[in-house]
A and B are shown apart, each in its own frame.
Chain A
Amino acid sequence: MGCEMESDQPEDLDVVLTSMWPEDMNEAGRQFNVERPGGDQDMLEEVTINKEPNIVDFQRLMELTNYSDKGNWQLAKLVKNWEFKQANVVRLLKEELDQLSKQQQEVELKKLEILEEHRFEKDGYGGDKRPISILDENLRYLYQDAPKRRKDDVVSQGEIVAIDAEYDSVVYWKQRAMHLEKLLEASLQREQVLVEKLQESIESLERQSTPVEELSQVLKRADNFLHFVLQNAPVVIGHQDKDMRYRFIFNHFPTLGEQDIIGKTDVEIFTGAGVKESQDFKKEVLERGLPAKREITFETELFGSKTFLIYVEPVFSKAGETIGVNYMGMEVTDQVRKREKMAKLREEIAVQKAKETELNKTIHITEETMRAKQMLATMSHEIRSPLSGVVSMTEILATTNLDKEQRQLLKVMLSSGDLVLQLINDILDLSKVESGVMKLEAAKFRPREVVKHVLQTAAASLQKLLTLEGHVAEDVPIEVIGDVLRIRQILTNLISNAIKFTHEGKVGINLYVVPEPSDVNEHGSEKKSRDQSTLSANTNGNGHADNSPSCEESELNDTSCDQNGDQMDQDKESRMKAEERIVWIRCDVYDTGIGIPEHAMSTLFKKYMQVGADTARKYGGTGLGLAICKQLVELMGGYLTVSSVEQHGSTFTFVLPYKVSSASDSDDTEELSDTYQLGDDGYDDDLNSGVFLFPPRTLGTLFSSQINGRIPKLLPNSYGNNCNDLLEDSPLPCSNKEGTSEEGSDSSGGAMETASSVPDIDNIRPVAQQEQETASECSSTNRTGVEKSETKQHKILLVEDNKINIMVAKSMTKQLGYAIDVVSNGAEAVKALQRSSYHLILMDVCMPVMDGLQATRLIRSFEETGSWDEAVKAGVEMETTSHQSCSTSQVEETRKRVPIVAMTANTVSESADECYANGMDSFVSKPITLQSLKQCLQRYLV
């Protein structure tokens, strides 16, 4: 029967929704046969339905119901329910019985009445049939539902009546008989009806459910419900005995058959991660006797990776022993995944937040740092003004009559002051670069000149026996565009650094063109690098190939070396090709010094860092220099590197891009050739000589001209203006002509004894001049008188806007025996220069209308090009007539380089560097003193 139910199951499930109740389930009439009022367990055994998904060990179920409290209770409940139903039925039956017995009594009564009537009729020979029919009718009605037994009684009674009726008259009896026959017939009919009724009643009675039936109904209902609820739920329900063997399992999506599961343990059924754990967990529950939940992730071949939330509860026997576990597992893989995702997200959010906090902190710190830096910058700025006051006062003080000790003290004061000033300038520069305020200028300048100036300056202040050399490769353009101030600053920094750490040997600068970076690390000779650049030019292949440095270089070289006819065409061509091109120039600053230990390389460019504490003590310095260099180089789009071998020397290399304006280059070359034709070789040579040598300055060589041979490029005639350049540069230590006292060498003081031979502009030999330079600051007081008389014819132009300054300067020059012309701004100076030529210009830097720097640039431009176009462009109204009518000789004369001496107030905007960069030759500090003016005039006007 169980099997039958099993097969029925699916359809049942479908029907369940509409009607669930026992009536529908009852089709099988066979159930009546199975009545076994005896044991409950038997009934259950029959009733428990083996559905497809559940796999049941029925034996075990019975044991369970027998021995476990839970099963017991469940059965008791079912029985109670059944008993209640039965009681109800009994009550109903009793009621019916009562009714029936009442009816019986009434019938009995009627019967008696009839009998009496009949007896009376017997006695009186007459009888009325009407009452009987009525009774009959009544009886019929009443007896409809009466029990069969009583019908029998009535029938027997009726027979008696029929027998009694034969005694009277024939007709009467005939009629009577007929009547009775009818009655009998009716009675028979009734009987039949009653029999049917009885049968029916019996049937219906039998149909009343037996306890088994009833209980199975209930169970089935529960089961169906359960199935209905569970049909799609991802749950597994099971029961395992105390050996962890499955006795029951419900699994809606089974992968194993019953025989594979029942009687086996988890471990026996499947393997993989989590199986053992779940089994152990069940055992644990079994041992502890307390229900528990746990999440277990399975990783099995059977169903892949799934996470189950498992609820396990122990099952107790009536004696209180655990006899197994019920467990229910729900698949929560998705939830777990979601949860894990959430956790991960939360974690990420937390991390994000932490990062954010960290960032905020960093930002805060950075802001603080920036503020601190700005404060530092502001303070430095504030400090600089008064400090420069102190320094300049000290300088002035140094020009007064002092004894030896005072001079010594002053020397210290000056050098300390200079040091602090330098430090402050460094700090300001750094903070400017860092805050992005540093603006780069783009101006034309000549790399060779810069190298030369830097080396000169370094050589001048050199206090060691070092050779300073410079080598500018031929391929380096004569003029490039860049921020010369900054480049000079970098070079000066690197050179002074190199000198600082070099005790013997040489320090030098190499300048050459390299291809666009990436593989410039190689230390190549000039030749090599040239090859490289040529190579790159050839392989470049893009539209700008012709603009690459090497081409340009070769052209330049052509123009400067050969004077072939077709060279001009080339120039024009090149001019056509591009307005601007970029050339990468590499600059090596090398020394043979103490070198840099490898471990210090990383901190080398950091601020306030020196290689070691002892180094700092030994060599001094702020440690800002290299940091500034690096920042400046990077600001200009290049990079700064260093290579070093300890005890052998270091090489600092920076590679920078420069613009080369092709148009101006060709101009230059044309101009160059002009000068060539004019025979003014000096200019040309100056432009192209790429070798500078400053041998160790020793007493012996000071005035010897022996060295000439070593530096052929600097040979006579080539120097012209260079002389001025060299001389101008130096507030240099001046070594005594007599060579007696080196100690007084660094003061720019005019009280010093001077070299008697003041350089001759036209005929000076470069080397001699270079030596001369060391003594250049000096002037001989006893020559003043002579000069006074000699120099009357010199024309000086003073460009100054301040009336008082003019008055003072005028008075001073007058006292020195010079007459001066005065104009009040740069534009007027340009005009004045156009009108007539001067031997010296004293130029204020800061002036209205046009400042001294611009005026100087315009003047220099005129000197180079011979035209005032630049000035006109700059808005100076030129007197065209005089310009046009200039004779050639006049032009020539005018176009000699006029020494321009700046008068600076030692402020930021009037730095010496800037003066040099704009083409000035020297500067005097304001307020000018008689002495400084005298020195200046003597230097340029001989």
Chain B
Amino acid sequence: MEIGGEYLEILGSSILMTDYLEYSNALFREGLLDGQFIQLQMLRDDSNPDFVVEVVTLFFEDSQRILNELSKTLDEQNVDFKKIDANVHQLKGSSSSIGAQRVRNACIAFRSFCDAQDVESYGFCFFVLFPDQMCLRCLQQVKQEYLLVKNKLEALLRLEQQIVAAGGVVPTLNDVS
């Protein structure tokens, strides 16, 4: 501390930046995020520095709402699969926009069941026999993925904020590939 706050600050922020990069790389590696997240980051500019945070926050809010709705719908006596499908579609859209790849994939799987529910030709299917169970399972999957990506994203965003607070510049993530 005594040696010089500024230096420490710089040091700190560079450590933070390395952490940030490693952390985000890990997220990409694990498939939690995809290129779309980079797109978001690319959209962040001086006029709108908090863009990513805003979008991600909106995503959290929206997703939480949708998940609650889904749970509620599935609790009902007569499950309205159309409603479920619409909600999952929403979640799929948001998650793919945010780059939350695994949530998106879970949604795709979920929806494929909903499709199967609609189309008679796929009659022989576990889902058709026990649609609500299948939906519950899918929902759990989606929730799990969501919570995972939420924690990670929150951590990542915290790191970003720390970097900003430390006076650093949030590094632009290059393509992971």
Residues A401 and B124 in contact, CB atoms below 8 Å apart:
no
Closest Cβ of chain A to B145, distance in Å, is 14
Take A927-B99, A930-B39 as given contacts and tell me if A803 and B125 are in contact as well, using a CB distance cutoff of 8 Å.
Answer: no
**A residues in contact with B42, CB < 8 Å:** 930
A408 touches B (CB below 8 Å): no
Take A804-B59, A804-B97, A929-B36 as given contacts and tell me if A811 and B43 are in contact as well, using a CB distance cutoff of 8 Å.
Answer: yes
User: In chain A between 377 and 414, which residues have their CB closer than 8 angstroms to a CB of chain B?
Assistant: 377-378, 381-382, 385-386, 389, 393, 396-397, 400-401
Complex: chain A residue closest to B120, CB-CB: A437
Partner of B105, one of A389, A807, A815: A389
Take A381-B115, A929-B39 as given contacts and tell me if A848 and B86 are in contact as well, using a CB distance cutoff of 8 Å.
Answer: yes
**B residues in contact with A310, CB < 8 Å:** none
**A residues in contact with B97, CB < 8 Å:** 802, 804-805, 807-808, 926-927
A435 touches B (CB below 8 Å): yes
Residues A927 and B96 in contact, CB atoms below 8 Å apart:
yes
Q: Most chain-B Cβ atoms within 10 A of its Cβ — which of A377, A400, A808, A812?
A: A808
Per the bound structure, the CA–CA distance linking A385 and B108 in Å amounts to 7
Number of interface residues of A (CB under 8 A): 38
Partner of A908, one of B55, B115, B121, B125: B115
Partner of A432, one of B35, B92, B112, B121: B121
Interface size class of B (residues with CB under 8 A): 35 or more
Residues B96 and A905 in contact, CB atoms below 8 Å apart:
yes
**A residues in contact with B92, CB < 8 Å:** 905
Closest Cβ of chain B to A929, distance in Å, is 5
Closest Cβ of chain A to B34, distance in Å, is 7
Complex: chain A residue closest to B125, CB-CB: A378
Per the bound structure, the CA–CA distance linking A846 and B99 in Å amounts to 20
Residues A389 and B90 in contact, CB atoms below 8 Å apart:
no
Residues A375 and B124 in contact, CB atoms below 8 Å apart:
yes
**A residues in contact with B151, CB < 8 Å:** none
Residues A803 and B122 in contact, CB atoms below 8 Å apart:
no
User: In chain B between 105 and 157, which residues have their CB closer than 8 angstroms to a CB of chain A?
Assistant: 105, 108-109, 111-112, 115-116, 119-125
Take A397-B35, A905-B93, A930-B42 as given contacts and tell me if A807 and B55 are in contact as well, using a CB distance cutoff of 8 Å.
Answer: yes
Residues B93 and A378 in contact, CB atoms below 8 Å apart:
no
B159 touches A (CB below 8 Å): no
Residues A808 and B40 in contact, CB atoms below 8 Å apart:
yes
**B residues in contact with A386, CB < 8 Å:** 105, 108-109
User: In chain B between 161 and 177, which residues have their CB closer than 8 angstroms to a CB of chain A?
Assistant: 175, 177
**A residues in contact with B35, CB < 8 Å:** 393, 396-397, 400, 929
A374 touches B (CB below 8 Å): yes
Partner of A381, one of B45, B48, B51, B112: B112
**B residues in contact with A432, CB < 8 Å:** 121
Residues A930 and B94 in contact, CB atoms below 8 Å apart:
no
B58 touches A (CB below 8 Å): yes
**A residues in contact with B75, CB < 8 Å:** none
**A residues in contact with B93, CB < 8 Å:** 802, 804-805, 905, 926
A12 touches B (CB below 8 Å): no
B98 touches A (CB below 8 Å): yes
**B residues in contact with A803, CB < 8 Å:** 58, 62, 94
**B residues in contact with A295, CB < 8 Å:** none
Partner of A802, one of B90, B104, B105: B90
Interface of B is mostly: helix
Per the bound structure, the CA–CA distance linking A736 and B104 in Å amounts to 36
**B residues in contact with A927, CB < 8 Å:** 36, 39, 96-97, 99
**B residues in contact with A431, CB < 8 Å:** 121
Type the 1/0 row for B43-54, where 1 means its CB is closer than 8 Å to any CB of A. Answer: 101001001001
**B residues in contact with A802, CB < 8 Å:** 90, 93-94, 97
**B residues in contact with A371, CB < 8 Å:** 124
A753 touches B (CB below 8 Å): no
Complex: chain B residue closest to A372, CB-CB: B124
Closest Cβ of chain A to B136, distance in Å, is 19
Closest Cβ of chain B to A924, distance in Å, is 13
**B residues in contact with A907, CB < 8 Å:** 111
Residues B58 and A378 in contact, CB atoms below 8 Å apart:
no
Per the bound structure, the CA–CA distance linking A907 and B96 in Å amounts to 13
Closest Cβ of chain A to B167, distance in Å, is 25
Take A385-B108, A389-B105 as given contacts and tell me if A846 and B89 are in contact as well, using a CB distance cutoff of 8 Å.
Answer: yes
Interface of A is mostly: helix
**A residues in contact with B34, CB < 8 Å:** 393, 396
Residues A807 and B122 in contact, CB atoms below 8 Å apart:
no
**B residues in contact with A435, CB < 8 Å:** 120-121
Type the 1/0 row for A407-441, where 1 means its CB is closer than 8 Å to any CB of B. Answer: 00000000000000000000000011001010000
Complex: chain B residue closest to A907, CB-CB: B111
**A residues in contact with B116, CB < 8 Å:** 378, 381
Residues B121 and A804 in contact, CB atoms below 8 Å apart:
no
Complex: chain A residue closest to B128, CB-CB: A378
A801 touches B (CB below 8 Å): yes
Residues A807 and B58 in contact, CB atoms below 8 Å apart:
yes
Take A397-B177, A811-B43, A905-B93 as given contacts and tell me if A374 and B122 are in contact as well, using a CB distance cutoff of 8 Å.
Answer: yes
Residues A812 and B43 in contact, CB atoms below 8 Å apart:
yes
Complex: chain B residue closest to A908, CB-CB: B115
**B residues in contact with A375, CB < 8 Å:** 124
Per the bound structure, the CA–CA distance linking A848 and B175 in Å amounts to 35
Complex: chain B residue closest to A434, CB-CB: B121
Per the bound structure, the CA–CA distance linking A939 and B96 in Å amounts to 25
**B residues in contact with A374, CB < 8 Å:** 121-124
Per the bound structure, the CA–CA distance linking A317 and B84 in Å amounts to 107
Complex: chain B residue closest to A384, CB-CB: B112
**A residues in contact with B177, CB < 8 Å:** 397, 400
Complex: chain B residue closest to A373, CB-CB: B121
**A residues in contact with B125, CB < 8 Å:** 378
Residues A807 and B54 in contact, CB atoms below 8 Å apart:
yes
Closest Cβ of chain A to B80, distance in Å, is 14
Residues A811 and B51 in contact, CB atoms below 8 Å apart:
yes
Complex: chain B residue closest to A806, CB-CB: B97
**A residues in contact with B109, CB < 8 Å:** 385-386
Residues A815 and B45 in contact, CB atoms below 8 Å apart:
yes
Closest Cβ of chain A to B17, distance in Å, is 22
Type the 1/0 row for A784-810, where 1 means its CB is closer than 8 Å to any CB of B. Answer: 000000000000000001111101100
Residues A377 and B122 in contact, CB atoms below 8 Å apart:
yes
Complex: chain B residue closest to A399, CB-CB: B35
**A residues in contact with B120, CB < 8 Å:** 435, 437
Complex: chain A residue closest to B55, CB-CB: A807
Per the bound structure, the CA–CA distance linking A815 and B35 in Å amounts to 18
Per the bound structure, the CA–CA distance linking A807 and B44 in Å amounts to 12
Per the bound structure, the CA–CA distance linking A492 and B125 in Å amounts to 32
**B residues in contact with A905, CB < 8 Å:** 92-93, 96
Complex: chain A residue closest to B123, CB-CB: A374
Residues A808 and B39 in contact, CB atoms below 8 Å apart:
yes
Take A393-B34, A804-B97, A805-B93 as given contacts and tell me if A401 and B121 are in contact as well, using a CB distance cutoff of 8 Å.
Answer: no
Residues A808 and B55 in contact, CB atoms below 8 Å apart:
yes
Per the bound structure, the CA–CA distance linking A431 and B122 in Å amounts to 10
**A residues in contact with B98, CB < 8 Å:** 804
Type the 1/0 row for A83-122, where 1 means its CB is closer than 8 Å to any CB of B. Answer: 0000000000000000000000000000000000000000
Closest Cβ of chain B to A424, distance in Å, is 12
Closest Cβ of chain A to B56, distance in Å, is 9
| A and B contact pairs by CB, cutoff 8 A, 30 listed | A381-B115, A382-B112, A385-B109, A385-B111, A386-B105, A386-B109, A393-B35, A397-B35, A401-B175, A432-B121, A435-B121, A803-B58, A804-B58, A804-B59, A804-B93, A804-B94, A804-B97, A805-B94, A807-B54, A808-B39, A808-B43, A808-B55, A808-B97, A811-B48, A846-B89, A905-B96, A927-B39, A927-B99, A929-B35, A930-B39
* Ranked 9 nearest A-B pairs via Cβ: A804-B94, A437-B121, A802-B93, A811-B43, A927-B96, A400-B175, A385-B108, A378-B122, A435-B121
Supplied contacts A389-B104, A803-B94, A808-B97, 19 more A-B pairs, CB within 8 Å: A375-B124, A377-B121, A377-B122, A378-B125, A381-B116, A385-B108, A385-B111, A397-B177, A400-B35, A432-B121, A802-B90, A802-B93, A804-B93, A804-B94, A807-B58, A808-B55, A812-B43, A905-B93, A926-B96
